[in-house]
């Protein structure tokens, strides 16, 4: 973080810590759920990102991944992971802070969270669930559009 001649700090993004905040894996039909099946179960995956300031430069970014596998109406497995990282962010213009927090930080956390989910499903007796890469910039754009839509509908006429 060297200062240049204009006295501004060059932008930096550092991971200070990564952690599992909450984690669960349920295999309610075991051992029957482990039998060979004709077709793969339908898997529904949900992703959420939240960020909270810890100080002026430190932020807690939390990535939540949940997956539910169903065979018809029977639940095969359910897993949920709340995976966090403490990031030190400095030198970014204010207008770049939300994209850094909601796009770049979860992009750095995702490979670790993905591996934890893959290991849990494999350890649960299933093929590892390898969640496809997530487009966090598209997710962020959608979230911004939803919030702008809510602001328009709740604004007084």
Distance CA 79, CA 130 (A): 13
CATH of the domain at 55: 3.10.420.10
Band (pLDDT 50/70/90 cuts) for residue 4 is very low
Domain count, the chain: 1
pLDDT tens digits along 63-90: 999 999 999 899 999 999 999 999 999 9
The answer to whether the CB of 77 falls within 8 A of the CB of 33 is yes
Residue 148 included in any domain = no
Residue 3 included in any domain = no
Residue 48 phi, psi dihedral angles, 5° rounding: -145, 150
Residue 143 included in any domain = no
What domain range includes position 45?
Answer: 18-128
Q: Which two tokens stand for residue 156?
A: 């007084």
CA 45 to chain centre: 11
Distance CA 95, CA 1 (A): 20
Residue 91 included in any domain = yes
pTM for the model: 0.86
């Amino acid at each position: 973080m060297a200062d240049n001649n204009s006295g501004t700090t060059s932008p930096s993004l550092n991971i200070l810590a990564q952690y599992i905040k909450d984690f669960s894996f349920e295999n309610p039909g075991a051992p029957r759920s482990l039998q060979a099946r004709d077709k793969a179960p339908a898997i529904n995956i949900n992703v959420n990102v939240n960020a909270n300031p810890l100080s002026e430069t430190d932020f807690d970014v939390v990535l939540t991944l949940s997956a539910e596998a169903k065979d018809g109406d029977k639940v095969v497995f359910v897993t949920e992971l709340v995976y966090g990282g403490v990031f030190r962010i400095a030198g970014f213009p204010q207008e770049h802070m939300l994209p850094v927090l909601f796009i770049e930080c979860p992009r750095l956390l995702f490979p670790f969270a993905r591996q934890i989910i893959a290991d849990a499903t494999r350890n649960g007796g299933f093929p590892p669930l390898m969640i496809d890469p997530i487009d966090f910039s598209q997710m962020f754009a959608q979230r911004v559009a939803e919030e702008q839509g809510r602001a328009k509908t709740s604004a007084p006429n």
